[in-house]
Structure 1
Amino acid sequence: MRTYLDFEKPIADLESRLEEMKRLAESSNVDVSEAVVTLERSIDKLRREIFENLTRWQRVQISRHPDRPYTLDYISLMCDQFIELHGDRTVRDDPAMVGGFAELDGQTVMIIGQQKGRNTKQRQHRNFGMANPEGYRKALRLMKLAEKFNKPIITMIDTPGAFPGLEAEERGQGEAIARNLKEMFMLKVPVICIIIGEGASGGALGIAIGDRVYMLENTWYSVISPENCSTILWRSWDYKEQAAEAMKLTARDMQEMGLVDGIIDEPLGGAHLDHDFMARKLKETILKAISELSDMDPQERISQRIDKFCSMGVVVDSQVSH
């Protein structure tokens, strides 16, 4: 059964009427084909009106849709083969961070990404996509393995943040993320990063330093979630919508500020409505980026990667007096 978000209620009401009309036609042999076509057109028009005028908070809601494809869904749909690798060789494996060698149309790549769960049991197992230090250390181990065999690295970001628990801090959460940032700048192979859902704080950035950084259309990328921003500024979650607008955290905002390299279009209504379509778009983007980056000299790639991120947030004051 499809899950509707709050702002999709008008669409849900019309689709419910459409289903009732179809059931009535089947049970009574009444020809309602003309009415069905009219109602379907109304639904398409309404859906287009709603999704062409989404607020930033509504895009945040879509990025969290429970039916949205996660990292392992994309791997399953895109890859001809996938061998998952486990463990950070120090503490343990972290199910919130998955990764391994995969084959995309004959091209061997290393895919790494955060993984959420579909139901309560899976969410607990995956820790809601919030990685511990060993998750980031596992990711770095896999990146170094890819570099050793000269294979491109693909990362998929979808996390509400790195796990903030006491035990994670005791095992060096901040150090693990910081080391990833440093090491990812120096990787000699192409690195392509894609925000497929939520991109929150250092938890996202810990696997998001790349030659190409893309965002799906209905995703967000920011130092903090709108709810937590609202809590800090207003001592309440009630202002999360205002916070989202002020934070400018959508894919379009990020591209306008030069923080990402491109936006990958989603089906009208969100990626959760057509997993196959979204996987094809993602695969096309990845293979095109690999083709462009593979021809470059490794040192040139590294220099461009460093320059790209170092130029972010730089302010030049032209009014400085001499």
Structure 2
Amino acid sequence: MATTVRLPFETDIFELEDLLLKLELESDGQPEPTEKIRRIRKDLAQLKKHKYSNLSPWETVLVARHPDRPQTMDYVKLVLDEFVELHGDRAFGDDRAIRTGFAQMDDQRFLLVGHQKGHTLNERRECMYGCAHPEGYRKAIKNMRLAAKYNLPVVSLIDTPGAFPGIGSEERGVAQLIATALLEMSQLPTPIICVVIGEGGSGGALGIGIGDKVAILEHAYYSVISPEGCAGILWKVANEQTKPLASAALKFTSRNLLKFGIVDDVLPEPLGGAHRDPKGMAATLKSYLARSLRELQSKNTTELLDGRYAKFRTMGAFQKLEAVSAARAGA
């Protein structure tokens, strides 16, 4: 898939792509590509592989935020056979930043919950760029309870810079709703699979991120705070110098998250990122969901809840120290 948005580190990739397009147009009508075209295609593939295998943490953020990166509703079209959206929280309104609905994928049925940022300007305004309000989390909680009632698994697709930080959101209790969502998901008696497909920003992401399996796409990130927010706190300014420093310090890339045990699996992205081949990424995601659903549905409720509790209870690195007596401490 061609993309018009050029990331700073992709300059040489686009130069080769432009040259390749020019040569292909010039050779239009020839049955076989010329030797030069074959060589450029090979060089382009190698260049993409090298670039995307060695992304810095800040470059990973840029890829995760790419405007053409597939979002929840894109995967609905590419992965699911049927999707019936469930609107509204039955209390305040219908937050378009979080979508929920009953889904069917081949012979498997589940409830889908996912962030939606939008692709066009109007969609982004409607979805608040994926920043959910309290009613979004209330809607998710309500429908996850409904899924559990019908013994349906829950699939959560995470892609948000964070919960909406506006005054109205705070007045309506967004922090409390996120906390309630954490409690509800930790106790939900049905399988839950969470996949970070783009940005995993702070509590806004964690609010639909408690599951039996937590996975992340190769070039997504999952963090307690945005790089800009971290830079603003540590260096008092978020600029082109401090944002990369904050990104490196936060250790939020898929490799680090897998190493620390925060995620269970990393899903490889197509060459050049998911935004270059949404169909390829959708196929990988579908395969992972199908496999994980079969695995989790073979477990009983007690096994699921015990495993979910143990998973999140043991996260983090701890160091055990010897107790120091008062006499030794004063010596």
Q: Above 0.5 in TM-score?
A: yes
Residue 183 of structure 2 corresponds to which residue in structure 1? 182
Residue 244 of structure 2 corresponds to which residue in structure 1? 241
Please say which of residues 289-298 and 171-180 is displaced more in the overlay.
289-298
1:259 shift after superposition: 0.7
Q: Secondary structure of the equivalent of 1:237? A: coil
1:316 shift after superposition: 3.4
1:1-322 correspondence runs (5 A): 2=3, 3-26=5-28, 33-238=34-239, 239-313=242-316, 315-321=318-324
Length, aligned pairs only: 320
Amino acid at match of 1:273: R
CA distance in 2, matches of 1:137, 1:186: 16
Q: Secondary structure of the equivalent of 1:113? A: strand
Question: Tell me, which stretches of 5 or more residues in structure 1 are unaligned?
Answer: none
CA distance in 2, matches of 1:157, 1:261: 15
1:54 shift after superposition: 1.1
CA distance in 1, matches of 2:303, 2:49: 43
1:168 shift after superposition: 0.3
The question of whether the paired residues in 2 share the 8 Å contact of 1:109 and 1:154 is answered with yes
CA distance in 1, matches of 2:262, 2:323: 26
1:282 shift after superposition: 0.9
Deviations 1:9-67 (A, max 9, x none): 0011111122222333449x9x9812222222221222222112111111111111111
The question of whether the paired residues in 2 share the 8 Å contact of 1:190 and 1:293 is answered with yes
Deviations 1:219-263 (A, max 9, x none): 000111111111111122221111111111011100100111110
1:4 shift after superposition: 2.1
Residue 329 of structure 2 corresponds to which residue in structure 1? none
CA distance in 1, matches of 2:62, 2:323: 43
The question of whether the paired residues in 1 share the 8 Å contact of 2:260 and 2:316 is answered with no
CA distance in 1, matches of 2:317, 2:12: 44
CA distance in 1, matches of 2:46, 2:79: 31
The question of whether the paired residues in 2 share the 8 Å contact of 1:97 and 1:113 is answered with yes
Please say which of residues 166-175 and 233-242 is displaced more in the overlay.
233-242
Q: Secondary structure of the equivalent of 1:199? A: strand
Amino acid at match of 2:275: H
CA distance in 2, matches of 1:122, 1:32: 41
Instruction: State the TM-score, normalized to the length of structure 2.
Output: 0.93
The question of whether the paired residues in 1 share the 8 Å contact of 2:147 and 2:154 is answered with yes
CA distance in 1, matches of 2:250, 2:192: 27
The question of whether the paired residues in 2 share the 8 Å contact of 1:157 and 1:208 is answered with yes
- The Cα RMSD (Å) is 1.6
CA distance in 2, matches of 1:41, 1:261: 33
Instruction: State the TM-score, normalized to the length of structure 1.
Output: 0.96
Question: Tell me, which stretches of 5 or more residues in structure 2 are unaligned?
Answer: 326-331
Deviations 1:286-320 (A, max 9, x none): 11111111121202211111111111135232333
Please say which of residues 35-44 and 215-224 is displaced more in the overlay.
35-44
Q: Secondary structure of the equivalent of 2:109? A: strand
Q: Secondary structure of the equivalent of 2:282? A: helix
Please say which of residues 195-204 and 282-291 is displaced more in the overlay.
282-291
The question of whether the paired residues in 2 share the 8 Å contact of 1:193 and 1:209 is answered with yes
The question of whether the paired residues in 2 share the 8 Å contact of 1:21 and 1:32 is answered with no
